[in-house]
Amino acid sequence: MGGLGRSATMNAIDLQTVLSESLQAGTLISVVLSKPTGDDAIKKVTGRPIQIRDESMFQLALRSGNQETHENISIDELTNRLAGWFPDRFANCHLFTNSADYQFELRRGGEIKSLRSRPTKKLKSAEHNRSKNYLIPEGTPCAFLEAIDVMTRSGKVRKARYSKFRQINRFLEFIDDVLEELPLDEIRVVDFGCGKSYLTLAMHHFFRNIRGVDCHILGLDLKKSVIEDCQRIAERLNLEGLEFRVGDIASHQQDERVDLVVALHACDTATDATLAQSIRWNARVILSVPCCQHELNAQMTAATVPGITEHGILRDRLAAITTDALRAKLLEIHGYQTQVMEFIDMEHTAKNLLIRAIRSNSNNQLARQQDEYAKLKQLLGIDTFALEKLLAELSEEKPSA
């Protein structure tokens, strides 16, 4: 349909075809329905694409008189609504796409005229942010993502799995940033609380197929059935260097060297067990995104920080922030350069932090860090802290080792 001069009359094209093609290509900019056919209270409808938590949706503005109401609907729902609105309730429907404007008009006698003309609107990048260059790109078929139902065979990311796709890619970016800290011949990784192994499989793909480095990755989880599923996928895809085991992070024994420990949303104190094990093995890099954190909340009262902890939600957030701050400080005390970073935006606030710790060879700040750790605990009335206890047990273990 190239070579648009002036408006062209196009009787062969129908609204649903233009709609589904432009939605699929991501080129739809807006939809406008006008000229109500009856005495409908709604005189005009305008719709535009929006992203809500990584999901592509449509925002409708429904105008009646001077009032405008808004509604966010799914893409499927948009298709249904449009079929009901045009031509039964509105005589005019405009579709603005990146490549052309389309006008559909109900004429007297029931005939529908369609016109296609030069595009008058431009798609803004904020309206369509899917073109980001991910390490595992969208649009290219990827066997493991297909196996875990994140992508279709043709490489399209399933709408419902987009946030997982983005989360995995974000985590890989953090790994890519620390690649020079890891060995070049074979990287040995432990993924604690691997769950359905989205990240485990993604790391395997990333090291072997994207960066061309050999790796051995162990995924560990408490749930037997989940681990059996992971094993089946690894076997089906014939993936070497991947191992899955059922087990508890805290009691997991590891004789082999560990270069990188990752934990994505390991629940509550499972993150502390992850950090303690990593320190025990002297892992070179730790990347941990904590999950729910209940331990310190129980030790804070309304009077701990007057004005803040008297509000339940603020106490909850302060407890979560303090937990990660104390974890970071303990990692520093144990010789890790540590940063607490934003993992991903638009996530639940309590789950969007990443603790990145890189083993350093010297620590000449030990006394200052110990002092800061003690002061922070005292300031917030903390008696016991899981990671501190685990590390104390570790140092009791060491002399006899």
Ligand X SMILES: C[S@@+](CC[C@H](N)C(=O)[O-])C[C@H]1O[C@@H](n2cnc3c(N)ncnc32)[C@H](O)[C@@H]1O
Residues in 276-315 that interact with ligand X by CB under 6 A: 291
d(CA 81, CA 68): 18
Cβ 375 to ligand X shortest distance, Å = 30
Cβ 368 to ligand X shortest distance, Å = 32
User: CA dist 20 to 3, 15, 75, 151, Å?
Assistant: 22, 9, 9, 20
User: Which of 195, 258, 259, 287 contacts ligand X by CB under 6 A?
Assistant: 195
Cβ distance to ligand X smaller for residue 191 or 332: 191
Cβ 109 to ligand X shortest distance, Å = 58
Cβ 188 to ligand X shortest distance, Å = 18
Cβ 302 to ligand X shortest distance, Å = 30
Cβ distance to ligand X smaller for residue 291 or 350: 291
Angle ∠(113,74,43) on CA atoms, nearest 5: 50
Cβ distance to ligand X smaller for residue 348 or 398: 348
Cβ 394 to ligand X shortest distance, Å = 17
Cβ 293 to ligand X shortest distance, Å = 13
Question: Which one-letter amino acid corresponds to residue 374?
Answer: A
Cβ distance to ligand X smaller for residue 29 or 390: 390
Q: Contact, 220 vs 190, CB < 8 A?
A: yes
Name the strands in the sheet holding 260-266, side by side, starting at the edge strand that comes first in the sequence: 242-246, 214-221, 186-192, 260-266, 285-290, 353-359, 336-342
Cβ distance to ligand X smaller for residue 107 or 294: 294
Interaction of residue 267 with ligand X, rule CB under 6 A: yes
User: Which of 96, 165, 198, 336 contacts ligand X by CB under 6 A?
Assistant: 198
Cβ distance to ligand X smaller for residue 167 or 338: 167
Cβ distance to ligand X smaller for residue 23 or 287: 287
Interaction of residue 275 with ligand X, rule CB under 6 A: no
User: Which of 265, 284, 329, 359 contacts ligand X by CB under 6 A?
Assistant: 265
DSSP state of 339: E
Question: Which one-letter amino acid corresponds to residue 274?
Answer: T
Distance of CA 176 to the CA centre of its chain: 17
Interaction of residue 193 with ligand X, rule CB under 6 A: yes
Residues in 202-261 that interact with ligand X by CB under 6 A: 220-223, 226, 248-250
Q: Contact, 193 vs 266, CB < 8 A?
A: yes
Cβ 264 to ligand X shortest distance, Å = 4
3-state SS assignment for residue 137: coil
Closest CA to 13 of 92, 154, 106, 113: 113
Per DSSP, the residues of 228-275 read: HHHHHHHHHTT-TTEEEEE--TTT----S--SEEEEEEE-TTHHHHHH
Q: Give residues with Cβ within 8 angstroms of 249, minimum separation 6.
A: 192, 193, 220, 263, 266, 270, 273, 274, 277
Beta carbons within 10 angstroms of residue 103's beta carbon: 17
Cβ distance to ligand X smaller for residue 147 or 291: 291
Continuous segment of H or E residues that includes residue 396: helix 386-400
User: Which of 233, 258, 270, 330 contacts ligand X by CB under 6 A?
Assistant: 270
Cβ distance to ligand X smaller for residue 36 or 219: 219
d(CA 175, CA 286): 10
Cβ 285 to ligand X shortest distance, Å = 17
- Contact residues: ligand X, CB under 6 A: 193-196, 198-199, 220-223, 226, 248-250, 264-267, 270, 273, 291
